[in-house]
Amino acid sequence: MLTDAAFVAIQLLLHSGTGQALAPLWLELSHPPGDTSADAQHYARYFGCEVRMGAVQDVLVYPRATLDNTLCHG
């Protein structure tokens, strides 16, 4: 769950820093498929991207252009 919180923080930072809703390309979480505490549809609605459960490691992937944006929204 700590990783989930970190990914949410990254999403919030990108939104507040750019003033835009920037969706990742995809999200991979190591939660086992079928884990009721980690509903893939819930994550997909929040992050706006494909979610893969049961991954070997937790990964949040953004387009290169998103990562090249300057974070300073006034």
Which pTM was predicted?
0.81
List pLDDT tens digits, range 25-62: 999 999 877 776 668 889 999 999 999 999 999 999 99
Distance between CA atoms of residues 9 and 2, nearest Å: 11
Residues of the chain above pLDDT 70, percent = 89
Task: Compute the Cα dihedral for 64, 66, 70, 71 and give only its sign.
Answer: negative
Rounded to an integer, what distance in angstroms lies between the CA atom of residue 57 and that of residue 51?
A: 13
* pLDDT, position 73: 56
Look at residue 23 and tell me whether its pLDDT is greater than 90: yes
42 touches 10 (CB < 8 A) = no
Q: Are 21 and 15 in contact (CB under 8 A)?
A: yes
